[in-house]
Amino acid sequence: MTKTEAQALAERLLSCATADHTEIGIGYSSETAARFANNAIIQSVHNVDRGISVTSAFGQRVGTASTNDLSDDSLKAVVGRAEAVAKAAAPNTEYVPPPGPQDYMDTDMYDEATASFPHDARASAIAGAIRPVEAAGLRAAGSYSTYVHESARANSAGLFGYTRRTQACFVQTVMSENSSGWAETNGPSVASLDVPGAASRALRKAVAAKDPVEIEPGAYTVIFEPAALAGLTSIAGWTMDAKAAHEGRSCWTDKEGTQVGVEALDLRTVPTDRVLPTAPWIQQGLAARQIAWVSDGVLRTLAYDRFWAAKCGHEVTGGPGNLVMKGSDASVDDLVADVDRGLLITRFWYIRFVDPMQLLITGMTRDGLLLIEGGRIARGVKNMRFNDSPLRVMKNIRRFGKPEPTTLHGQQVVPPVLADGFHFTSTTSF
Amino acid sequence: MKDMARLALDTAVQRGAEYADVRLVRYRSQNIGTEDRRVSSLSDTEDVGLGVRVIVSGAWGFSGTCDLTREGVQGCAAEAVAIARASATVGGKKVQLVAEPPTTTRFRTPYEIDPFTVPIEDKVGLLLEINDRLLANSEVKKAHGGMTLRRADRVLLNSDGSDLESEVVTTGMSYRATAVGGGDARSRSYEPPSLTKGYENIDRESLLANAERVAEQAVEHLKAPECPAMVTDLVLDPLHLALTIHESVGHATELDRVLGMEESLAGRSFAVPSYLGNLHYGSGLVTFKADNTLPHGLATHGFDDDGVAGQSWHIVEDGLFVGYGTSREVAGEVGLTRSTGTCRADHWGSIPIVRIPNLLLMPGKTPLSPEEIIADTKRGIYIEGMGSFSIDQMRCNFQFGGDAFWEIRDGKRVRMLKNVTYQSMTTEFWGSVDAVSDERSWVPNGVLNCGKGDPMQVSQMTHGAPTIRVRNVKVGAAAEVMRQSGPGSVV
């Protein structure tokens, strides 16, 4: 779907509209993924879909209808359905009429070679990643995925925007009899991935974690690798809603403008990030811009939608489309060397809220929990359950490493960090 | 619709597929959300497409498309075959399906009221009337409500000769009151079972009748004392148990996961095949039955996406681990000659995978009510509803919260508590069940948003349960961390 085609389609839909305000969303996606386990490809899929959504508003009565059928009858019908739904709705007293034309940042990252990545090349890359694992007598599992997304926004106030992007992601888990390791590589194109590197890291982690011992739960100095830290920052980002905070329903109540982390903590949304960009727009097609959520450790802003921003006299931020944290050039090994006794955490699994009012969360370590002693990796440790809060972690970070892209918990570019006093409350059997 | 599915199937076979199936599915859904006295979201969605799954040279290939022209479906089938051929070059164990005789089946959710014929004004009106009742309590500062209505019309053809059609309708609604004050906010919810049933499942009278209680309990929850860290007995209601069953039994007994096929995302399971017939999964009072014929069950669809009819079988019988959920691909790995028929895709564009069936904790065989269980408990905590939930990737170590909690003292519920979580290991937990209420208090609750697979798929299933008592469970460790350290404390 080209920009011209999207614009023509949007104009056709708008020409059928009778509502006070009409917003159109057009999307096209192509997703291809090969999944492997037990050293073989077990599923290989390709899916193409498209979608039209129409949001109609009569005053504050708002309704949305969508379809993936682009026939003439269906296009007329979807506008009619949206308007019927809107007319039947009770008012949405927080509805804000859509904005006019926008000046969008260029966040497009489209790579034709990724969009047309051949199936046999994907299979061959996976075979190459499996080979050394099999040679070591271990088992490999993972997936190699590529995505194409094209989307457009238009409305009755004259707004139009179009964007297209590709994305590629490879993850690998390696298992021995009693340990596992995991690694990922992400980017806007297949050329930006390092599949052999990720495969090698997963294998080294599984070997390092072999024959794990059980240790006592408690408070530990830890190194969160980027995928692990991303689990905590995503929770922080998701909960930063200004309205909930102002209504006293959030851990962020009364925290805007206050010190929430160490001075070096800097967390932003960067729409034009060259590895994991966001869409060029936020709510209702409003142009996205860079947002500094935390800088110098101070919470600079919460997330304001258009209604709440107008009510508070604040700029609209939208939610965090991506999260980018500043770091240093230090490697994970450099951070390990700084730890007398502690734990290296590869990633977390099944993170869930326990008490949102304290941002208390729980989860399990996974695929590589390693004991550090005297500045070196000593041995593998059986996985443990943590109960702690990102609010505590942010205030106990001792050192930042080099940021890496991770998509395990949304689009993030975050460093490994060394932090003190992270709480584990129980162990498991492996 | 069926002509295009037939064309896709014929194309796949002509291009060399040893096995092929085609699903053509049309979806319709309405989702309504309310916040306080406004409609916060209201959407009506239609979606149609076709998915082709093939085996070529012993490897799967899958392709899905929304282009239902002749060229579109033929191209989709050809793509699936090409994908399978490429996958086969990597080697590994060849896919072998256990047999399933071809059949012609038509299945329809029995329903009285088509949910899509009910005026939107009525649906919105009900949700807002409930919010009004919640907000009538001056200490309730926030009211949320939601309604989910779905229909899936499916055609499934396969190269074995099966010709299957289904229409499945799902309805559900819930609401929540939040009380705010003293620097805290606590909620209470009402969530009657979502079912494959028509709009008659939206019980207006019951929904309205519970609003005042829900509001009062949200306020009581706000003012409740914290749960201390301790070891105590738990009495768990059916809605709470739906999630515990789902996480610690349902996912643990998906055979594809056991065999390592979910390692890259959702993990594996401790319940390996060598445990069949000899692992004590629970006490002798614990029986888990899978039943994809359960009337109005969320996973009751007539047949799965392997073309296998819905069945019932035991997963755990009188405490002993005896069965798995399977697909035609994995059933043979444990010596089954027929799949248990629990292989489903969440969408025409997704590849079918083993999903949890309707998985039911069977009621006790002797008369016993929840009130009698509480009366028989000297010290404990009674938990209603769903809250926090987390489990490790082998399905062993778990931690659960809930929606509302009461301290039990000398056989009585004496006061609400807040911040209750419990942590246990799966077989230790189910092995500590010493009371199970009878069928009078059995409720078919379920989940609408079970996630599994890579790419991720979301599915639905029922977990009916009675009320149970579990002895000597660790509670309160999570909140104890924050009490000792403080939420923003520096080490």
What residue of B is the nearest CA neighbor of A172?
B264
Tokens 């006293």 correspond to what residue?
Answer: A248
* CB contacts, 8 Å: A90 with chain B: 38-39, 124-125, 128
The domain boundary residue, chosen from B185, B200, B223: B223
Nearest residue in A to B48, CA atom? A68
Binary contact (B481, A64; C-beta < 8 A)? no
Question: Residue B84 — pLDDT band, cuts 50, 70, 90?
Answer: very high
Q: Does B137 have pLDDT greater than 80? A: yes
Taking the C-alpha atoms of residue B158 and residue A309, their distance in angstroms, rounded to an integer, is: 54
B1: contact with A, CB 8 A cutoff: no
Number of Cβ within a 10 Å radius of residue B274: 8
What DSSP assignment string belongs to B302-324?
SB-TTSPBP-EEEEEETTEE---
Q: Which of B45, B49, B487 sits opposite A389 (nearest CB)?
A: B487
pLDDT class of B489 with cuts at 50, 70, 90: confident
B88-131 pLDDT, tens digit per residue, is 998 889 999 999 999 999 999 999 999 999 999 999 999 999 99
* A153 shares its domain with A271: no
pLDDT at A29 over 80: yes
Q: Which residue in the set B42, B93, B351 is minimally distant from A64, CB to CB?
A: B42
A145-183 pLDDT, tens digit each? 999 999 999 999 999 999 999 999 999 999 999 999 999
Is B373 in contact with B477 (CB distance < 8 Å)?
A: no
Choose among B253, B244, B269: nearest CA to A430. B269
Give B 372-411 residues with CB within 8 A of chain A. 388-394, 396-397, 399, 401
- On whether both B265 and B206 belong to a single domain, the answer is no
Residues B241 and B210 in one domain: no
For residue A338, give its domain range: 212-430
Same domain, B362 and B275: yes
Partner A contacted by B451 (CB < 8 A): no
State whether B142 and A247 contact (CB < 8 Å).
yes
Q: In chain A, which residue's Cα lies nearest the Cα of B185?
A: A249
| In-domain check, residue B35 | yes
Angle between helix axes A72-88 and B120-135 (nearest 10 degrees) is: 30
CA distance B27 to B152: 5
- Average pLDDT across chain B, whole number: 97
> Which of B189, B223, B257 is a domain's end point?
B223
B235 and B131 share one domain = no
Q: What is this model's ipTM?
A: 0.95
Q: Where among A175, A190, A205 does a domain terminate?
A: A205
Quote the pLDDT of residue B91: 81
Report the pLDDT value the prediction gives residue B410, as an integer from 0 to 100.
98
Q: Which residues of A touch B87 (CB under 8 A)?
A: 34, 41, 44, 119, 123
User: Which residue in A41, A250, A364 is closest to B397 by CB distance?
Assistant: A364
Which residue in chain A is spatially nearest to B122 when comparing CA positions?
A88
Q: Which of A164, A183, A205 is the last residue of a domain?
A: A205
B443 and B309 in a single domain? The answer is yes
What does the alpha-carbon distance between residue A391 and residue A203 come to, in Å, rounded to a whole number?
Answer: 33
Q: Which residue of A has its CA nearest to B61?
A: A44
Arithmetic mean of pLDDT, B11-15: 98
Tokens of B308: 């296998």
Report chain A residues whose CB lies below 8 A from the CB of B65: 47-49
CB contact under 8 A, B392 and A349: yes
Q: Are B33 and B39 in contact (CB under 8 A)?
A: yes
Tokens standing for residue A362: 């729980």
Q: What is the pLDDT of residue B486?
A: 74
**Domain identity same for A316 and A421:** yes
Residue of B nearest to A430 (CA): B394
Residues A262, A192 within the same domain: no
Whether A248 shows a pLDDT value over 80: the answer reads yes
Q: Are residues A189 and A235 in the same domain?
A: no
Structure tokens belonging to residue A427: 């162990």
Testing the interface with A: which of B38, B71, B116, B258 to mutate, by most A Cβ within 10 A? B38
Span B183-211, pLDDT tens digits: 999 999 999 999 999 999 999 999 999 99
B324/B259 Cα distance (integer angstroms): 11
Q: Are residues B173 and B248 in the same domain?
A: no
Same domain, B200 and B268: no
CB-nearest to B66 from A40, A50, A81 is: A50
> Residue A253 and residue B183: Cβ atoms within 8 Å?
yes
* Structure-token pair, residue A409: 């918990």
CATH label of the domain that carries residue B13: 3.30.2290.10
> Does the distance separating the beta carbons of B389 and A352 come in below 8 Å?
yes
User: Would you state the pLDDT for residue B485?
Assistant: 83
Do B296 and B163 share a domain, yes or no?
A: no
Q: Are residues A40 and A155 in the same domain?
A: yes
**Mean pLDDT, to the nearest integer, of B63-67?**
97
User: Is residue B146 included in any domain, yes or no?
Assistant: yes
- Mark whether B212 and B240 lie in a shared domain: no
CA distance B265 to chain A (A): 8
B105 domain-assigned: yes
Q: What confidence category does residue B491 fall into, taking pLDDT thresholds of 50, 70 and 90?
A: confident
In this structure, how many other beta carbons lie within 10 angstroms of the beta carbon of residue B320?
Answer: 18
Chain B contact for A59 (CB, 8 A cutoff): no
Q: What pLDDT score does A16 carry?
A: 94
Residues A338 and A227 in one domain: yes
Whether A93 and A181 map to the same domain: the answer is yes
pLDDT number for residue B210: 98
Same domain, B10 and B151: yes
Which residue from A minimizes the CA distance to B88? A41
Q: Does residue B322 share a domain with residue B201?
A: no
Provide the number of structural domains found in chain B. 2
**One domain, residues A123 and A224:** no
Residues 6+ away with beta carbon under 8 Å from A71:
none
Find the domain containing B39 and state its range: 2-223
Mean predicted confidence (pLDDT) in A223-230: 98
| Interface touch B392/A385, C-beta < 8 Å | yes
Note whether B218 and B235 are same-domain residues: no
**Mean of the pLDDT values across residues B367-380?**
98
What are the φ and ψ backbone dihedral angles of B391, each rounded to 5 degrees? -145, 155
Q: pLDDT tens-digit profile of B380-420?
A: 999 999 999 999 999 999 999 999 999 999 999 999 999 99
Confidence of residue B79 (pLDDT cuts 50, 70, 90): very high
Has residue A5 got a pLDDT over 90?
Answer: yes
Query: Residue A47: its pLDDT value, please?
Result: 96
Q: Which residues of A touch B259 (CB under 8 A)?
A: 38
Residues A273 and A186 in one domain: no
Give the tens place of pLDDT for each residue, B425-449. Answer: 999 999 999 999 999 999 999 999 9
Q: For residue A147, give Cα distances in angstroms to A85, A186, A190, A199, A210.
A: 33, 12, 10, 21, 35
A76 and A17, same structural domain?
Answer: yes
Is B9 a residue whose pLDDT tops 80? yes
> In this prediction, what percent of chain A has a pLDDT beyond 70?
100
CB contact under 8 A, B90 and A119: no
% pLDDT > 90, chain B: 97
Domain harbouring A130, CATH code: 3.30.2290.10
Residue to mutate among A355, A386, A397, with most B CBs inside 10 A, is A355
Tell me the percentage of chain B whose pLDDT exceeds 70: 100
* Chain A closest-CA separation from residue B370 CA (Å): 27
| B295-347 residue pLDDT tens | 999 999 999 999 999 999 999 999 999 999 999 999 999 999 999 999 999 99
φ and ψ at B443, to 5 degrees? Answer: -130, 135
**DSSP string of B122-179, one letter each residue:** HHHHHHHHHHHHHHTSTTEEEEEEEEEEEEEEEEEEETTS-EEEEEEEEEEEEEEEEE
Question: Does B131 reach chain A within 8 Å, measured CB to CB?
Answer: no
A179 lies in the same domain as A222: no
Rounded-to-integer distance, Cα B210 and Cα B130, Å: 9
Residues A116 and A195 in one domain: yes
User: DSSP class of residue A309?
Assistant: H
Last residue of a domain, one of B223, B239, B257: B223
CB of A88 within 8 Å of any CB in chain B?
yes
Q: A56 with A83: CB under 8 angstroms?
A: yes
Whether B490 maps to a domain, the answer reads no
Mean pLDDT of B359-371: 98
In a domain, B491, yes or no: no
pLDDT (0 to 100) of residue B23 = 98
Contact residues, chain B, for A346 at CB < 8 Å:
none
Could you tell me the pLDDT band of residue B488, with boundaries at 50, 70 and 90? Answer: confident
Could you give the number of structural domains in chain A? 2
Query: Tens digits of per-residue pLDDT, A190-216?
Result: 999 999 999 999 999 999 999 999 999
Looking at the partner chain, which of A41, A171, A363 has a beta carbon nearest the beta carbon of B92?
A41
Name A151's bridge partners.
Answer: A27, A163
Assess whether pLDDT exceeds 80 at residue A273: yes
